[in-house]
Amino acid sequence: MADHKNQQFLLRLRFALAGLGHAVRTESSVKIQVGAFILVILALAVLRPTPVWWALVLLASSGVIAAELLNTAVEHLADHLHPEVHPSIRVVKDCAAAAVLIAVLGAVAVGIALAVYLIKK
């Protein structure tokens, strides 16, 4: 297998976009998160908060998608290496899913803070 390290930036970008595309096509949770991200961008465009709120919301939202992609990668790798149900593999997969949950809760907290800010404004 070819070494993907130290490749040109555009080639590495192509690998990353291929991974994102695969996850969007095959994982319903990634589709949901990307759909939510699009809705968030539309809401920001309508609400027009200050740039710092744009940054906070987009950072939180992209963190959720990144966590979801890592969860997908962990699940695929774990299933490939150990297709049978195993308690240790279950813990790994559950922890990866918990990372997504924590990222989502953080993003929701940012959304609530933005709503409070906009209401008080």
Of the residues 27, 68, 75, 84, only one is catalytic, namely: 68
Residue 106 exposed, middle or buried by CB count within 10 Å (0-12, 13-18, 19+): middle
Q: Give the C-alpha distances (Å, rounded to integers) separating 28 from 34, 36, 68, 69, 90.
A: 10, 12, 11, 12, 20
Catalytic, 68? Answer: yes
Compute the Cα dihedral for 91, 96, 99, 100 and give only its sign.
negative
| Token reading at 4 | 């993907």
Which residues are catalytic, by number? 68
